[in-house]
Structure 1
């Protein structure tokens, strides 16, 4: 499966951006132009069931990872890449990492793991209900006061194109757990609803460089853009 990509920049270095669940490639709307202006070729992908990428009623993390690998083999064959994966996108990145020519992997507020075994039909209904709420930019801004008007518009647009059945399929299979390779970077919000202190210590013990952004929301760059950028001097030229 080939995924839809938003490409920008013409640098010698390639960076790949993987959004979280219910987001899209447009979720990086503020990050991508910054990187493109720093001599990166930026490839932001819509994961399966998101944005303009194909839906997959039998999708898994592994099939999403395979789609990422296949797409990048088409778009950047043989090129070493830096990749940033947020939340679910981080889990997909961890699943694909050993098949990608990675120079650096960055995981944003994710443990690269979740519990499977959900009731597919019931979960699809829950995702459909959540999609309806998120289609309203006003609701997004009321529930997430740190959103700018552009953030809300982008995420409402993502909700319009989000497929609940694909998302439900991903969580109805087996439990999922990946461990980022030593030398990877994890940037987490503190406090985080996703990455506990124990998780952070476990990752650090395995050689993952754990960094924190105090007070940030789950989508760190929406609430704390400057702090997120500053936490990754290896990626952003700051």
Structure 2
């Protein structure tokens, strides 16, 4: 599927941005321009089922392989930088060998969806369709007002079949076997997706791992300055 994209800047270097579940390219409203100021042409996608991109026929069309194939079909290979958040990190890792960026950054990536009562349940995401702006602000007290407005809009556009499409990933080992390309993993503090033990495993597999102190899962919205500082040496 060819994805909808948003571009910032016109630099010689290319940066690719891949958002997380229930979001779209607008989550990068500050990151995109900041990278453009550093000389990048920044291309952000709307994953299938999100934003202005197409929808799959049902949950079976929302697997990591589907997302990865879309990225490869839509985005140029050999970019200077590719960055994926959460589901975007899972999708990017599945496509990184084919996209072959010079560097990759995975932001609190969804490489492990735990099973059980406290694990991954689609209804926890589909319930967000009914959230008010106040609900979103309660869960994300550090977000700017514009990000609350964007989240309201993107969640209502999002195809909730995408949440059910990930059920097959629950409890599976989705951790990358190796970095593939020079890769940074930027983590929330604490990360609910990457434990300290798993962070050590990623280091052993060739990843650089950094934590943004005090930041929640959507690091670039919780602490934009801290997020950009964590990218020092990678952008």
TM (norm. structure 2) is 0.89
Looking at structure 1, the residues matched to 184 and 174 of structure 2 have their Cα atoms a distance apart, in angstroms, of: 17
Q: Which residue of 2 aligns with 1:120?
A: none
Instruction: Kindly state the Cα deviation for residue 203 of structure 1 after the two structures are TM-superposed.
Output: 0.3
Q: Map 1:24-173 to 2 at 5 A.
A: 24-56=24-56, 57=58, 58=60, 59-72=62-75, 76=76, 79-110=78-109, 112-114=111-113, 125-133=123-131, 136-172=132-168
Instruction: Indicate if the aligned counterparts of 1:113 and 1:176 stay in contact, CA closer than 8 A.
Output: yes
Show CA shifts across 1:39-92 (max 9, x none).
1101111111111111122221101100010001xxx3x543311111111000
Looking at structure 2, the residues matched to 163 and 210 of structure 1 have their Cα atoms a distance apart, in angstroms, of: 32
Uncovered stretches (5+) of structure 1, i.e. residues with no partner: 118-122
Instruction: Indicate if the aligned counterparts of 1:189 and 1:217 stay in contact, CA closer than 8 A.
Output: yes
Looking at structure 2, the residues matched to 228 and 86 of structure 1 have their Cα atoms a distance apart, in angstroms, of: 12
Instruction: Indicate if the aligned counterparts of 1:116 and 1:173 stay in contact, CA closer than 8 A.
Output: no
Instruction: Indicate if the aligned counterparts of 1:116 and 1:176 stay in contact, CA closer than 8 A.
Output: no
Structure 1 residue 177 corresponds to structure 2 residue 174: yes
Instruction: Indicate if the aligned counterparts of 2:16 and 2:79 stay in contact, CA closer than 8 A.
Output: no
The runs of at least 4 consecutive aligned structure 1 residues that moved more than 4 Å come to 123-126
Check 1:199–1:145 CA distance in 2 against 1; reply closer, same or farther (3 A cut): same
Instruction: Indicate if the aligned counterparts of 2:80 and 2:102 stay in contact, CA closer than 8 A.
Output: yes
Instruction: Indicate if the aligned counterparts of 1:94 and 1:112 stay in contact, CA closer than 8 A.
Output: no
User: What secondary structure, in the 3-state scheme, does the structure 2 residue paired with 1:145 have?
Assistant: coil
TM (norm. structure 1) is 0.88
Looking at structure 2, the residues matched to 217 and 128 of structure 1 have their Cα atoms a distance apart, in angstroms, of: 20
RMSD after superposition: 2.1
Looking at structure 1, the residues matched to 42 and 50 of structure 2 have their Cα atoms a distance apart, in angstroms, of: 19
Which range moved further: 137-146 or 152-161? 137-146
Q: Which residue of 1 aligns with 2:205?
A: 206
Instruction: Kindly state the Cα deviation for residue 189 of structure 1 after the two structures are TM-superposed.
Output: 1.5
Q: Count residues in correspondence.
A: 226
Show CA shifts across 1:78-133 (max 9, x none).
5433111111110000000111121000001125233589xxxxx65553322221
Looking at structure 1, the residues matched to 3 and 20 of structure 2 have their Cα atoms a distance apart, in angstroms, of: 15
